Amino acid sequence: MLERAIFAMLFVSALSSGITGGVLFAFSNFVMKALARLPLAQGTAAMQAINVRDQSAIHGGFLRTGSALSCHDRGEFVRTPTKALIILASMIYLFGCLGVTIVFNVPMNDSLAMVKPYSFEAAALWPRYLASWTTWNHVRTVAAILAAVAFTLTLNDPFSATD
Identity of the amino acid at 29? N
Q: What is the mean pLDDT of the chain?
A: 85
Instruction: With both helix axes pointing from N to C terminus, report the angle between 120-155 and 106-113 in degrees, rounded to the nearest 10.
Output: 150
2, 143, 142, 139: which is closest to 76 by C-alpha?
2
Residues in the chain: 163
Instruction: Please name every residue paired with 112 in a beta bridge, in sequence order, or none if there are none.
Output: none
Domain count, the chain: 1
Residues of the domain holding 139: 2-20+28-70+79-160
CA distance 23 to 55: 14
Is the pLDDT score of 158 beyond 60? no
pLDDT in tens, 89-145: 999 999 999 999 999 999 999 999 999 999 999 999 999 999 999 999 999 999 999
Is the pLDDT score of 60 beyond 60? no
Lowest mean pLDDT among 6-20, 63-77, 96-110, 136-150: 63-77
Identity of the amino acid at 9? M
CA distance 4 to 6: 5
